[in-house]
C-alpha cells in the first residue's frame, strides 16, 4: 500500500514530540534522583532508607526504559526519513504497527512516570 506523505509527516511530528518528551522525562528523573540523594544524606532512619532504595531502583528502571524508548523512536524516525526521501513509498504492516506500539509505549511512560513522581513526592511530604 502506498504511503501518503501526510501520514509520514504525522509520524515525523509524533516522533519529534516523543523525543522531546523523553528528554523532559530524563531531566525530571535526574532531578528526582538528586532530590532523593539530598534527603538520604540527611537521614539515618532505616525504614526511610529502605523506601529510598525502592525509589532509587524505580528511577534506574525508568532511565533504562527511557534509553530503550529513545533508541526505538530514533530507529522509527530513521525509517520515516528514508520513506520520505522516496526510497520506500510503500508501507508495510510492521512500519504502522511499530508506530502504534511506540504510541502505546509513550502513553505508558507518561502515566507510569507521573504516578512514580507523585508517589515519591507524596512519600517525602509525609515522612520529612
> What whole-number distance in Å separates Cα of residue 69 and Cα of residue 101?
11
Q: What is the CATH number of the domain that holds 15?
A: 1.20.1270
C-alpha cell at 4: 501518503
> What whole-number distance in Å separates Cα of residue 36 and Cα of residue 120?
9
Range in 2-6, 25-29, 62-66, 81-85 the model is least confident about: 2-6
Give, as one character, the DSSP assignment of residue 4.
P
Model confidence, pTM: 0.89
Give, as one character, the DSSP assignment of residue 42.
T
Asked whether the predicted pLDDT for residue 1 surpasses 60, the reply is no
67-117 per-position pLDDT tens digit: 999 999 999 999 998 888 875 556 677 888 999 999 999 999 999 999 999
Read off φ and ψ for residue 69, nearest 5 degrees.
-65, -40
Q: Is the dihedral of CA 107, 105, 93, 3 positive or negative?
A: positive
**Count of structural domains within the chain:** 1
Give the domain range for residue 63: 5-127
Amino acid at each position: 500500500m502506498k504511503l501518503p506523505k501526510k501520514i509520514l509527516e504525522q509520524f515525523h511530528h509524533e516522533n519529534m514530540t516523543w523525543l522531546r518528551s523523553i528528554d523532559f522525562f530524563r531531566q525530571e528523573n535526574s532531578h528526582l534522583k538528586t532530590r532523593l540523594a539530598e534527603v538520604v544524606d540527611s537521614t539515618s532512619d532505616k525504614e526511610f532508607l529502605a523506601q529510598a532504595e525502592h525509589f532509587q531502583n524505580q528511577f534506574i528502571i525508568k532511565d533504562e526504559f527511557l534509553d530503550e524508548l529513545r533508541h526505538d523512536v530514533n530507529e522509527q524516525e530513521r525509517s520515516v526519513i528514508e520513506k520520505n526521501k522516496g526510497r520506500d513509498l510503500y508501507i508495510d504492516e510492521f512500519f504502522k504497527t511499530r508506530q502504534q506500539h511506540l504510541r502505546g509505549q509513550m502513553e505508558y511512560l507518561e502515566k507510569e512516570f507521573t504516578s512514580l513522581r507523585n508517589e515519591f513526592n507524596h512519600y517525602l511530604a509525609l515522612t520529612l
